[in-house]
């Protein structure tokens, strides 16, 4: 039977068993099917995979998909095979025989889709092999990996720039859920996709509720949060492997089925835990950020961060793993000042060039801005991606429980002059002791009880002072010197506050609200 070439919608229905395209999927599919290059910027869960899978099936030749994660490849190939698509993957996890048989199938024109790791393309022999077969398209998944500005730079991705010269007539489609304009522009340039058609959709994930809390007792706060998600699956991110294990153990003790996942675990354990998370209900996976990219579990109901992510981009990406099925889900973060100093120290001690270090610091400050904002968090996150949102989303903590602000100019003056008068050599705890007038051993040793700022801040609780310092740090008025045990020092910008040229608006924390109420009653 001579069938007419199948259209995108036919393939969607007959191969994938789905009724209709979502959003701009059809536009992308039509464009790529017709041989055009495309850059697809859709959020996680939007359905980017079909945007290249369908044209790969519909076009003559094999669709070559460059993907950075073996786990993702395996899952996708498995799902495609079950749908009757001739798919295979080439990566380091294959045995030499498997490798050979995939290459043979490729040579024989027996594949619709071939997933390859980026380092594979860099190998000369493999490019020669590709040059000898009929290629329907190249799909570059997680395309932000080509950019240093992105949150997951992979040098091997740079090699993909060659594809344009080597295969000038093969359409290329680059896909990512990374939303910041710098990374977007960079990846388009790096991959030589200036003439490609751009498909962008809104990055809002309305079904995800956001909340960010200050750390008081992190474990108790986490338990409170998880109590809202009994019997559901979710991810708890921690910064270090040690913390992953400690938190997983803690949750297990508390009767919450939790499993650890980090790069230091035995590969077998890691695979088993990931599998349990994917296949069983109600598993809480405690993981480092090594986990998650490319994981397609639709019913992840929550993502919790026990430490600050590195940037708004990373926060968005990681929280975006919740609620791919469109059902209500929650993103929750617990952070403190120690996170900020730890991050700044990690950046300072890293071997990145100064330019990158500065950028990382800027990104961190931007994220802190989202943490400390008194406005809608969704609006703040989307604004960072250049997307307008009217705010008042009704699905973030600051919208649900509006935060009060207060004029913190006087408080800022007090604590900053305490930093200044003590010689910009002490950490937050001592600086706060001085404003609060606490005659500690250290205060007496340095004779700080004689400073004019000593005891000028007794009207505010120690908790509030900590928050003030944190917010001033987030605003960039105060810095932490990591070479000097976290000593606080002032930014140039502090002068304007001292001179009365700049006011400081602070978020009113719950403690402060309480003390104000008491005062009002008194
Ligand atoms: P992304 O790569 O953009 O994060 P995926 O391609 O993994 O998203 O798709 C997310 C989920 O949505 C998958 O479970 C996929 O099967 C489903 N999906 C994608 N497109 C459609 C569609 N048109 N109709 C129904 N489900 C879809
Ligand atoms: Zn909101």
- Torsions phi, psi of 340, nearest 5? -65, -45
Q: Going by CA atoms, what residue is nearest to atom 18 of ligand 1?
A: 47
Inter-CA distances, 216 with 287, 402, 457, Å = 22, 20, 22
Alpha-helix runs per DSSP H in 48-202: 48-58, 70-82, 96-107, 118-122, 124-131, 162-166, 181-190
Task: Output the CA 395–ligand 2 centroid distance in Å.
Answer: 5
Closest of 252, 302, 301 to residue 273, by C-alpha? 252
Whose structure tokens read 């997680």?
A: 142
Whose structure tokens read 């900590």?
A: 466
Which of 13, 43, 47 to mutate for ligand 1's pocket (most ligand atoms within 8 Å of CB)? Answer: 47
Q: Going by CA atoms, what residue is nearest to atom 26 of ligand 1?
A: 18
Q: Going by CA atoms, what residue is nearest to atom 12 of ligand 1?
A: 47
Task: Output the CA 376–ligand 2 centroid distance in Å.
Answer: 4
Intra-chain end-to-end CA distance of the chain, in Å: 90
Q: Find residue 102's DSSP bridge partners.
A: none
- CA dist 290 and 273 (Å) reads 14
Contacts of 428 (CB under 8 A, 6+ apart): 337, 466, 469, 486, 488
Task: Output the CA 319–ligand 2 centroid distance in Å.
Answer: 15
- DSSP count for the chain of H helices, then E strands: 23, 17
Task: Output the CA 86–ligand 1 centroid distance in Å.
Answer: 20
Q: DSSP of 22-53, one letter per residue?
A: -TTHHHHHHHHHTT--EEEE--TTS-HHHHHH
User: Which atom of ligand 1 is least distant from the CA of 43?
Assistant: 3
Q: What is the ipTM metric for this complex?
A: 0.98
pLDDT in tens, the chain (522 residues): 444 557 999 999 999 999 999 999 999 999 999 999 999 999 887 899 999 999 999 999 999 999 988 878 888 999 999 999 999 999 888 888 998 999 999 999 999 999 999 988 877 788 999 999 999 999 999 999 998 876 778 888 988 999 999 999 999 999 998 867 778 889 999 999 999 999 999 999 999 999 999 899 999 999 999 999 999 999 999 999 999 999 999 999 999 999 999 999 999 999 999 999 999 989 999 999 878 766 778 899 999 999 999 888 889 989 999 998 889 999 999 998 778 878 888 889 999 888 778 778 778 877 887 898 877 899 888 877 878 888 889 999 999 998 888 999 999 999 999 999 999 999 888 999 999 999 999 999 999 999 999 999 999 999 889 888 877 876 678 887 756 777 899 988 899 999 999 998 888 765 544 444 333 333
User: Which atom of ligand 1 is least distant from the CA of 49?
Assistant: 6
| Cβ–Cβ under 8 Å, residues 414 and 457 | yes
- CA dist 478 and 495 (Å) reads 11
Closest of 188, 216, 214 to residue 200, by C-alpha? 188
Residue 295 CA: which ligand is closest? 1
User: Which atom of ligand 1 is least distant from the CA of 298?
Assistant: 14
User: Which atom of ligand 1 is least distant from the CA of 21?
Assistant: 23
For ligand 1, residues with CB inside 6 Å are 18, 21-22, 25, 42, 44-50, 296, 298, 324
Which of 23, 26, 49, 292 to mutate for ligand 1's pocket (most ligand atoms within 8 Å of CB)? Answer: 49
Q: What is the DSSP letter of 396?
A: B
Task: Output the CA 118–ligand 2 centroid distance in Å.
Answer: 39
User: How is residue 37 written in tokens?
Assistant: 């290059």
Task: Output the CA 379–ligand 2 centroid distance in Å.
Answer: 7
User: Which atom of ligand 1 is least distant from the CA of 46?
Assistant: 3
């Amino acid at each position: 039977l001579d069938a007419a070439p199948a259209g995108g919608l036919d393939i969607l229905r007959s191969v994938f068993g789905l009724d209709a395209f979502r959003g701009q999927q059809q536009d992308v599919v039509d464009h790529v099917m017709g041989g055009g290059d495309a850059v697809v910027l859709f959020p996680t869960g939007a359905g980017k995979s079909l945007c290249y899978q369908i044209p790969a099936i519909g076009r003559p030749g094999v669709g070559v998909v460059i993907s950075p994660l073996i786990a993702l490849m395996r899952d996708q190939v498995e799902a495609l095979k079950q749908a009757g698509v001739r798919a295979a993957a080439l990566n380091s996890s294959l045995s030499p025989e498997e490798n050979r048989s995939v290459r043979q199938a490729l040579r024989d024109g027996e594949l619709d889709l071939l997933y390859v790791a980026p380092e594979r393309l860099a190998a000369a022999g493999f490019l020669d092999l590709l040059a000898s077969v009929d290629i329907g398209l190249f799909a570059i998944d997680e395309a932000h990996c080509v950019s240093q500005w992105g949150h997951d730079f992979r040098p091997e991705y740079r090699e993909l720039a060659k594809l344009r010269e080597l295969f000038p007539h093969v359409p290329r489609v680059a896909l990512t859920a990374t939303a910041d304009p710098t990374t977007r522009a960079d990846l388009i340039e790096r991959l030589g996709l200036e003439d490609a058609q751009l498909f962008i959709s809104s990055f809002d994930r309305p079904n995800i509720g956001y909340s960010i809390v200050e750390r008081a007792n992190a474990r108790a706060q986490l338990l409170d949060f998880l109590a809202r998600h009994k019997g559901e699956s979710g991810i708890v991110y921690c910064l270090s492997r040690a913390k992953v294990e400690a938190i997983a153990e803690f949750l297990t003790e508390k009767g919450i089925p939790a499993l650890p996942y980090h790069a230091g675990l035995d590969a077998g354990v890691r695979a088993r835990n990931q599998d349990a998370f994917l296949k069983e209900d109600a598993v809480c996976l405690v993981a480092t950020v090594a986990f998650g990219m490319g994981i397609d579990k639709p019913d992840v109901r929550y993502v919790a961060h026990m430490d600050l992510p590195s940037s708004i981009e990373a926060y968005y990406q990681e929280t975006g793993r919740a609620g791919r099925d469109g059902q209500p889900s929650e993103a929750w973060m617990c952070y403190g000042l120690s996170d900020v100093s730890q991050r700044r120290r990690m950046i300072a001690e890293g071997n990145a060039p100064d330019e990158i270090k500065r950028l990382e610091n800027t990104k961190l400050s931007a994220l802190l801005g989202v943490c400390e904002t008194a406005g809608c968090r969704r609006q703040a996150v989307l604004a960072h991606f250049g997307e307008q949102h009217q705010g008042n989303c009704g699905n973030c903590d600051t919208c649900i429980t509006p935060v009060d602000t207060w004029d913190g100019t006087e408080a800022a003056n007090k604590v900053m002059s305490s930093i200044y008068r003590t010689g910009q050599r002490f950490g937050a705890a001592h600086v706060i002791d001085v404003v609060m007038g606490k005659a500690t051993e250290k205060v007496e040793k340095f004779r700080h009880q004689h400073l004019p700022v000593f005891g000028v801040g007794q009207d505010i609780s120690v908790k509030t002072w900590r928050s003030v310092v944190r917010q001033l740090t987030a605003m960039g008025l105060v810095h932490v010197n990591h070479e000097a045990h976290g000593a606080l020092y002032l930014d140039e910008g502090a002068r304007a506050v001292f001179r009365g040229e700049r006011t400081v608006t602070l978020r009113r924390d719950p403690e402060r609200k309480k003390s104000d109420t008491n005062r009002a009653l008194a």
